[in-house]
Amino acid sequence: MAGDSNQQVFFINDDLIERLMRGDAAPSPAKEKRQASAASLATAVVQASEGRVEEAVLTLEAAGQRGEDAVDVQAGLGLLHFEQQKWSEAERDYAKLAELKPRHPAVHYNLGLCLERQSKYEEAAKTFATELSFEPKRWQAQLGRGLCLLKLGQPENALFCFEAALKDIPNQEKGQSRDRILSGKAVALHQLSRLDEAADLYKKLLPANPNSVDLLANLISLSIARKDEPRVKELADRLLKIQPESGSALEGLAAVALWRGDYSAAVQHCSRLVKVSPRSYEGW
């Protein structure tokens, strides 16, 4: 490229391309731009930024077949397949990239995201941990690992991840990102039966997310555990307006009816509950 006056030299910033192509990719610390090794990457970036994602995929696949730089090709394909929500293809791309260049910016984080999207929580948690071994301050990887550990029934380890993420998240990334971390922390505390701490966090999060089905459902579950009848009734009625067939809301109303000795209403709510959530009867 340097010796060809007719060919444009294309310089890239890995983090900027990643953030342009998809919103939840992790930003890396600022680094100098580098000259692109795969000449077709410039074309693919333009195509993707214009919404022509499938064309961009074909461009990079052809580049790979011509023997252009495999690192740039696999990194680009991973981003594009993630954009298309083709999780298994993106997993394959990032796995190959990790083999080619283990220290490529955020490669293990991105691979972890692909695994998490496919509910491969154990593999994803390990992959996020690998990312943290290279980039200990990457709070997104702590968040991802914590969420996977919750799915694996390890709330104590998950809580450690959420605490680390809160410590490392920079001020400019706060807001919704911080709320996601706090939501995970609240669930971990809830699972650890630290109900007062969990309730405090849920209450802090709810004003900014008043129609969050997950938050309301978790608050109902917590309020049932505390036998807070008025709060359960209030939250269940609120959730039913948002999601008329909510199993959590119906379970809350059934609990309230039982506490009040209104067995007719309890049977009615339980009947609806079994219809919307056939396995829910196991908890009664």
Tell whether the model's pLDDT for residue 23 goes beyond 80: no
Tell whether the model's pLDDT for residue 19 goes beyond 70: no
Tell whether the model's pLDDT for residue 20 goes beyond 70: no
Please work out, in degrees rounded to the nearest 5, the angle formed at the alpha carbon of residue 42 by the alpha carbons of 39 and 44: 105
Give the per-residue pLDDT at 47. Answer: 87
CB atoms within 10 A of CB 6: 4
Cβ-contact 251, 223 below 8 angstroms:
no
Question: Mean of the pLDDT values across residues 6-13?
Answer: 34
Question: Mean of the pLDDT values across residues 160-172?
Answer: 94
Tell whether the model's pLDDT for residue 159 goes beyond 80: yes
Q: How confident is the model at residue 57 (pLDDT cuts 50, 70, 90)?
A: very high
Q: How confident is the model at residue 30 (pLDDT cuts 50, 70, 90)?
A: very low
In this prediction, what percent of the chain has a pLDDT beyond 70?
85
* DSSP 8-state assignment for residue 169: -
Distance CA 64, CA 36 (A): 14
Q: What is the DSSP string of 122-159?
A: HHHHHHHHHHHHH-TT-HHHHHHHHHHHHHTT-HHHHH
Instruction: Say what the pTM is.
Output: 0.80
Tell whether the model's pLDDT for residue 22 goes beyond 60: no
Give the per-residue pLDDT at 27. Answer: 46
- Burial class (CB within 10 angstroms; exposed 0-12, middle 13-18, buried 19+) of 34: exposed
The amino acid at residue 238 is R
Distance CA 89, CA 83 (A): 11
Question: Which tokens is 188 given?
Answer: 């971990």
Tell whether the model's pLDDT for residue 7 goes beyond 50: no
Give the per-residue pLDDT at 49. Answer: 87
Cβ-contact 195, 226 below 8 angstroms:
yes
Mean pLDDT of the chain: 86
In this prediction, what percent of the chain has a pLDDT beyond 90?
72
